[in-house]
Copies of this chain bind each other. A is one copy, B any other.
């Protein structure tokens, strides 16, 4: 049985798109239920400015609690800059994710940076947080809401630059759900072939109903790390038309049924998704929480 590492990003990518503040204890109870299902990789929060995303104003408390309460779980957080990275490290996290969009216009819209500024920002984080394991999420790898199709050579160039800076962990992100299985196959195979020393994961949105098929295609090409969000929550506040992430419970149901080893129990994962569905008012693209309701 091939092991697949399913990284739960609901508490970050799902919750950050919810307008009403989710009480910290609800966030933690959701994370508790995820860990009880066997999830061992969770992006628990974002260390962003509370002015930019008020939902994440309890990032420190969430991260500190997670690190203490679930030491066997790999907890990570998104950090937009050095300050966020330092705060995440102070909260006890050692896995940080930095987002850079392959599309220059989306990078500007999303984090108000040119590519050069993003590289500089990343350099600072790498220098000041030497104990951190830094992953770069390559937003808009497959398509951009402003520029459309993103070419493979644009992705390759950015990976090469980041590789030169020492980054060995990447997620190929379909931020707006623009990819199709043929493109996923092409891009994933190229990355695995050209950067054999790096780790690649995928982060796929389900906008055009291809979340499951694109993620499975990536796995069939050799990817073993996939991101998903309980309930299929998510989106991107700066990507018009993007809908939720691939639903974790639907993904886990499929992978378990196919004989992959996710280490996650579907029934308990569904419980976690149903808990979130009952306590967090948002858009859910996961099918099975809707069927069961």
Binding site for B on A (CB under 8 A): 180-183, 206-213, 216, 241, 243, 247, 250, 253-254, 257-259, 285-288, 290-291
Contact = CB atoms under 8 A, between A and B. Distances in A.
B254 A181 contact: yes
Given A212-B213, A213-B213, A216-B213, A206 B287 contact: yes
A241 B208 contact: no
A253 B287 CA distance: 20
Given A212-B213, A213-B212, A213-B213, A207 B254 contact: no
A210 B212 contact: yes
A183 B241 CA distance: 33
Nearest to A241: B291
Contacts of A286: 209
Contacts of A206: 287
Contacts of A216: 181, 213
18 contacts: A180-B253, A182-B258, A183-B257, A206-B287, A207-B287, A207-B288, A207-B291, A208-B253, A208-B254, A208-B287, A208-B288, A209-B247, A209-B250, A209-B288, A212-B212, A213-B213, A213-B216, A285-B287
